[in-house]
């Protein structure tokens, strides 16, 4: 009879990270596409709404004053889709360590930008979830917690990968 | 649970969430009556244009500045002046911006002298300066003559402009405007609210799409 997988602390963090980080990534990417304009019908209205939302997001990216207008437009038109894909891959769990590492890098990058903007007293919107959200210390703390969870999840996933799977058959005695 | 089941479960979950969201959020344009309470000093173009655009903005809002600088002029050049769009500026000073109502008063006062566009330009161009110092008067004085400023000050510092600004705000709240800039596009009895900064490239494609349905 198979033994059930032992629920240790590392595995619990990995599961929590998959659900939370993956879910938040999917939501963040989706929100950037459909908020604040969520007119989804007819088709030309959907196209316009998504384009308008992405141009608003590009403006929010530019307000961080790290990239210029073209760089902000590139980021705005790619990041939401990257977030959705990475989030889904984390939730599904396929090639988990790769996407966990990427998610951690993305979150760490966000944290650096948000912290920099906060320390420079920039009166800007976070741009995290589509709708206007002033950048405050709570934003920094929230992103820190998420980045920490993502890093722990990634580190533990690599550690667990080096151990034999709990369900693996014991090595046969020679 | 094996991996295949996990994939299937998540696919079903994602599909369900997507359908639920589409059903919940699918909200095409709403029906609306004709546009009322238009201050002729703050409107550009011809009233008989097929598209009417009401732009709710706040002079102290950085996104409104972006919209003004990147979208407004090409819109006026290509659509307003050719009679395709009737553009109406609505003041929507946000409570968190200390000087935006003052700026709105000065801009309206200048508009009554026929200098509305000039006032808007100088206020948006120098937004970072006067939002720190509160010196809206000094900003306006940098482009208007002493005689013009004297007339502007009398009107701006009086009470006559509060009512039209409050009317614009009430109108915006009727459209559920809660952030600036918000552009409300009227076409064939339909209303399309658009929140945020819309680039001219995106806007003109949409306007062309609407006009092709005439």
Interface of B with A (CB under 8 A): 3, 6-7, 10, 14, 21-22, 25-29, 62-63, 66, 179, 192-199, 202, 205-206, 209
- Taking alpha carbons only, the member of B49, B61, B38 closest to residue B177 is B61
Instruction: Say yes or no for a CB contact (<8 Å) between B25 and A36.
Output: no
* Residues shown for chain B: 214
CA separation for the pair B184, B199 (Å, rounded): 15
Q: Is the dihedral of CA A24, A30, A34, A36 positive or negative?
A: positive
Model pLDDT, residue B30 = 52
Tell me what the pLDDT averaged over chain A comes to: 89
Model pLDDT, residue B102 = 95
Instruction: Say yes or no for a CB contact (<8 Å) between A56 and B63.
Output: yes
- Taking alpha carbons only, the member of A32, A29, A61, A21 closest to residue A147 is A21
Model pLDDT, residue A44 = 86
Confidence of residue A132 (pLDDT cuts 50, 70, 90): confident
Q: Which residues contact A166 (CB under 8 A, 6 or more apart)?
A: A3, A5, A6
Extract long-range pairs of A108-116: CB within 8 Å, 24+ residues apart: A108/A147, A108/A150, A108/A151, A110/A143, A110/A147, A111/A140, A111/A143, A111/A144, A111/A147, A113/A64, A113/A66, A114/A139, A114/A140, A114/A143, A115/A140, A115/A143, A116/A64
CA separation for the pair B119, A18 (Å, rounded): 53
CA separation for the pair B199, B176 (Å, rounded): 22
Identify the residue with better confidence: A162 or B104: B104
Identify the residue with better confidence: A70 or A123: A70
For residue B4, the chain A residue with the least C-alpha distance is: A92
**Chain B residues lying within 8 Å of A165, measured CB to CB:** none
Question: Which of B1, B64, B98, B199 to substitute to test the interface with A, most A CBs within 10 Å?
Answer: B199
List the single residue in B7, B196, B206 with the smallest CB-CB distance to A56: B196
- Taking alpha carbons only, the member of A157, A75, A147, A144 closest to residue A104 is A147
C-beta atoms surrounding A134 within 10 Å: 11
Residue A36 has pLDDT above 80, yes or no: yes
Sheet holding B43-44, edge to edge: B30-31, B190-195, B182-187, B51-57, B85-91, B43-44
Q: Which residues of chain B have pLDDT under 70?
A: 1-2, 12-34
Residue A150 has pLDDT above 90, yes or no: yes
Instruction: Say yes or no for a CB contact (<8 Å) between B197 and A51.
Output: no
Question: Which of A5, A18, A40, A121 to substitute to test the interface with B, most B CBs within 10 Å?
Answer: A40
Residue A163 has pLDDT above 90, yes or no: no
Model pLDDT, residue B36 = 77
CA separation for the pair B187, B34 (Å, rounded): 10
Asked if the C-beta of A43 comes within 8 angstroms of chain B's C-beta atoms, the answer is: no
Model pLDDT, residue B24 = 46
Instruction: Say yes or no for a CB contact (<8 Å) between A93 and B197.
Output: no
Model pLDDT, residue A51 = 93
Model pLDDT, residue B126 = 96
Model pLDDT, residue B61 = 94
Confidence of residue A161 (pLDDT cuts 50, 70, 90): confident
Residue A130, sorted as left (phi over 0), alpha (psi -120 to 50) or beta, turns out to be left
Q: Where are the alpha helices (DSSP H) in A63-136?
A: 69-92, 96-119
3-state secondary structure of B88: strand
Model pLDDT, residue A23 = 97
Beta bridge partners of B170: none
Tell me the two tokens of residue B204.
Answer: 């003109």
Confidence of residue A41 (pLDDT cuts 50, 70, 90): confident
Q: Say if CB B85 and CB B213 are below 8 A apart.
A: no
Residue A4 has pLDDT above 60, yes or no: no
Residue A54 has pLDDT above 90, yes or no: yes
Mean pLDDT, rounded, for A116-136:
89
Instruction: Say yes or no for a CB contact (<8 Å) between B179 and A36.
Output: yes
Instruction: Say yes or no for a CB contact (<8 Å) between A59 and B66.
Output: yes
In angstroms, the separation between the Cα of residue B37 and the nearest Cα of chain A is: 26
Q: What proportion of chain A, given as a percentage, has pLDDT over 70? A: 91
What pTM was computed for the model? 0.81
Confidence of residue A22 (pLDDT cuts 50, 70, 90): very high
């Amino acid at each position: 009879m198979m033994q059930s997988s032992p629920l240790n602390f590392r595995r619990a963090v990995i599961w929590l990270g998959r659900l939370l980080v993956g879910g938040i990534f999917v939501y963040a990417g989706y929100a950037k596409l459909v908020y604040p304009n969520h007119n989804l019908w007819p088709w030309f209205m959907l196209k316009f709404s998504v384009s308008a939302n992405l141009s608003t997001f590009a403006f929010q990216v530019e307000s961080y004053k790290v990239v210029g207008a073209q760089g902000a437009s590139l980021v705005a038109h790619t990041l939401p889709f990257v977030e959705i894909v990475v989030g889904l891959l984390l939730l599904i769990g396929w090639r988990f360590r790769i996407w966990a590492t990427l998610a951690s890098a993305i979150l760490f990058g966000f944290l650096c930008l948000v912290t920099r903007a906060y320390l420079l007293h920039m009166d800007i919107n976070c741009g995290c979830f589509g709708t206007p959200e002033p950048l405050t210390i709570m934003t920094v703390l929230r992103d820190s917690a998420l980045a920490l969870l993502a890093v722990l999840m990634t580190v533990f996933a690599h550690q667990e990968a080096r151990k034999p799977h709990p369900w693996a058959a014991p090595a046969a005695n020679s | 649970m094996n991996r295949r089941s996990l994939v299937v479960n998540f696919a079903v979950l994602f599909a369900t969430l997507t359908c639920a969201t589409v059903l919940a959020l699918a909200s095409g344009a709403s029906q609306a009556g004709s546009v009322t309470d238009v201050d002729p000093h703050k409107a550009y173009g011809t009233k008989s244009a097929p598209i009417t655009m009401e732009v709710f903005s706040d002079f102290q809002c950085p996104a409104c500045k972006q919209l003004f600088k990147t979208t407004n002029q090409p819109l006026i050049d290509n659509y307003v002046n050719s009679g395709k769009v009737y553009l109406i500026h609505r003041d929507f000073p946000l409570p968190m911006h200390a000087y935006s109502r003052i700026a709105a008063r000065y801009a309206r006062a200048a508009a009554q002298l026929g200098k509305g566009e000039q006032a808007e330009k100088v206020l948006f161009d120098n937004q970072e300066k006067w939002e720190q110092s509160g010196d809206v008067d000094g900003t306006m004085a940098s482009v208007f003559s002493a005689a013009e400023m004297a007339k502007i000050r009398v009107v701006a510092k009086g009470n006559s402009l509060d009512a039209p600004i409050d009317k614009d705000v009430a109108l915006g709240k009727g459209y559920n405007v809660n952030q600036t800039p918000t552009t409300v596009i009227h076409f064939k009895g339909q209303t399309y609210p658009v929140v945020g900064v819309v680039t001219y490239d995106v806007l003109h494609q949409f306007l062309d799409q609407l006009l092709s349905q005439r």
